């Protein structure tokens, strides 16, 4: 079995195999009815920050009809060998990570918990510039956090010269 990094998988007919940590799991629910639509997750692999390539994260989806098969096999924080997943282009309005691909579990997907060697981080964060934060005001595509307050851009004198700063208050669950 050839294991690919998240950054190497592409949408198409091929079924992919990967090693990844499930860093977050949640039920996707239709708010109006409370109906469970899918079991969603964020997968992270071991690709480190090399040549400005960040740790790679991807959205994983287990459709409603396969939830009962896979739910007992998955635990947040564990590392898994995952086989026979289909990668598609991200078309949903809301995305939990900045990746234009989604890993879809199939009835033939295999999932095996493997020893945690700590080579895959438990969490990964993508920080962005204040300019990017301002561009995201009223844009609800990425669900990476909620800024409760974004203060004005200010210039501050430091040992390295003038630095632009901005106070941001994050609302954390």
State yes or no: pLDDT of 108 exceeds 90: yes
Q: Say if residues 88 and 104 touch (Cβ distance below 8 Å).
A: yes
CATH no. for residue 25? 2.40.50.140
Greater pLDDT, 84 or 164: 84
Each residue of 65-105: pLDDT tens digit? Answer: 999 999 999 999 999 999 999 998 888 777 678 788 999 99
Model pLDDT, residue 86: 93
Give the chain's mean pLDDT. Answer: 81
Q: Is residue 101 located within the same domain as residue 138? A: no
Greater pLDDT, 133 or 163: 163
Model pLDDT, residue 164: 78
Q: Is residue 136 located within the same domain as residue 101? A: no
Q: Is residue 54 part of a domain?
A: yes
Q: Is residue 62 located within the same domain as residue 30? A: yes
Strand segments, DSSP code E, in the chain are: 15-30, 35-44, 57-63, 79-89, 101-104, 110-114, 146-150, 154-158, 161-165, 168-171
Q: Give the mean pLDDT of 14-35.
A: 90
Model pLDDT, residue 53: 46
Greater pLDDT, 51 or 26: 26
Q: Is residue 154 located within the same domain as residue 104? A: no
Q: Is residue 109 part of a domain?
A: yes
Give the predicted TM-score (pTM) of the model: 0.72
Model pLDDT, residue 52: 47
Question: How many domains does one find in the chain?
Answer: 2
State yes or no: pLDDT of 106 exceeds 90: yes
3-state SS class at 132: helix
Model pLDDT, residue 140: 62
Q: Is residue 11 located within the same domain as residue 94? A: yes
Q: Name the residue range of residue 21's domain.
A: 6-114
């Amino acid at each position: 079995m050839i294991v690919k990094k998240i950054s190497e998988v592409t949408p198409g007919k091929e079924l992919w195999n990967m090693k990844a940590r499930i860093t977050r799991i949640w039920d996707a629910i239709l708010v109006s009815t409370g109906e469970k639509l899918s079991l969603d997750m964020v997968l992270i692999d071991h690709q480190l920050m090399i040549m400005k390539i960040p740790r790679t994260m991807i959205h994983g989806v287990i459709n409603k009809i396969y939830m009962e098969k896979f739910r007992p096999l998955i635990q947040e924080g564990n590392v898994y060998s995952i086989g026979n997943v289909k990668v598609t282009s991200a078309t949903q309005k809301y995305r939990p990570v900045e990746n234009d691909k989604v890993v879809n579990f199939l009835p033939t997907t295999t999932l095996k918990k493997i020893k945690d060697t700590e080579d895959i981080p438990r969490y990964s964060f993508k920080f962005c510039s204040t300019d990017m934060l301002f561009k995201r005001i009223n844009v609800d595509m990425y669900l990476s956090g909620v800024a409760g307050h974004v203060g004005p851009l200010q210039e501050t004198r430091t040992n390295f010269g003038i630095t632009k700063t901005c106070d941001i208050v994050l609302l954390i669950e």
